[in-house]
Copies of this chain bind each other. A is one copy, B any other.
Amino acid sequence: METTYRTQAFARLAGVTVRTLHHYDRIGLLKPERSQSGYRVYTAPHLERLEQIVALRFLGLSLKEIREVIVRERRSLPAVLAAQRRMLESRRHQLDRAIAAIERAEAAVKAGQPTTTLLSRIIEEIAMQEQTEFMNRYYNDAAQTALEERRKQWNPADQEKVTEEWRAFFRDVRAVLHEDPASPHVQSLVDRWTELVGRFTGGDPNICSGLNQVWADRDNWPAGMKQQSQEFFDQEVWDFMARARSARKR
């Protein structure tokens, strides 16, 4: 003597569309009874199950996953939900990155940086984020917060200036590759090198240590980062500087 519903009434009751019920029926997720004329007939237990389906869909599970959890308890619900939570958190992280990219690009353009258009700023911002995320694997917590502070002080113009100084430094080193690494002239280049690195580390030993690790692992950098610093991947220059530094030590 229980209340029964036909498709439309049941759909309204549960807050879904008729088409959705048809779909769930077809894929075997929620199969109602049938009247002799072939009409779908839903009852209270169906409502309960549909509520479960809707809830899990709200959590972002696919219908296939829902079926595995509900129809036959093939998979443990707590485990699935824990996994789902991690997925959602990572999606949220991605969303945050996208939102931040738009916001910061808008802010930068509004603050009047006519050299780059909004779209270019966004591309830069995304690249920055990628680099930051990747590099954070090498820096410990102290270094990460220190770098965070540092970045707030930076702006694209500063960045461009520093890059230019490194470029000049490399030119100067390449010009003296034939000289004695211990010569005063070359040793002054070691000082310049120390100064340039110190400009980035700010003397922070945490940052310094992380930087060494980043550089040591440069073969594994993502393509975008590699490409961007390709001009500084001159093994000959680095070898020469290494010899110059060890000459200094003695």
Contact = CB atoms under 8 A, between A and B. Distances in A.
A118 B85 contact: no
Nearest to A129: B58
B59 A118 contact: no
Contacts of A77: 118-119
Nearest to A51: B123
Where chain A touches its partner, the secondary structure class is: helix
Contact of A101 (B12, B15, B58, B91): B58
Contact of A99 (B13, B89, B96, B126): B89
Contacts of A88: 95, 98-99, 102
A244 interface: no
Nearest to A77: B118
Nearest to A89: B99
A248 to B, nearest CB: 40
Interface in A137-196: none
Interface string A87-107: 011011001101101110110
A60 B94 CA distance: 10
Interface of A: 12-13, 15, 51-52, 55-56, 58-60, 77-78, 81-82, 84-85, 88-89, 91-92, 95-96, 98-99, 101-103, 105-106, 118-119, 122-123, 126, 223-224
Given A78-B106, A78-B118, 19 more contacts: A12-B223, A15-B223, A55-B119, A55-B123, A58-B101, A58-B126, A59-B101, A59-B102, A59-B122, A77-B118, A77-B119, A81-B105, A85-B99, A85-B102, A85-B103, A88-B98, A88-B99, A91-B95, A95-B95
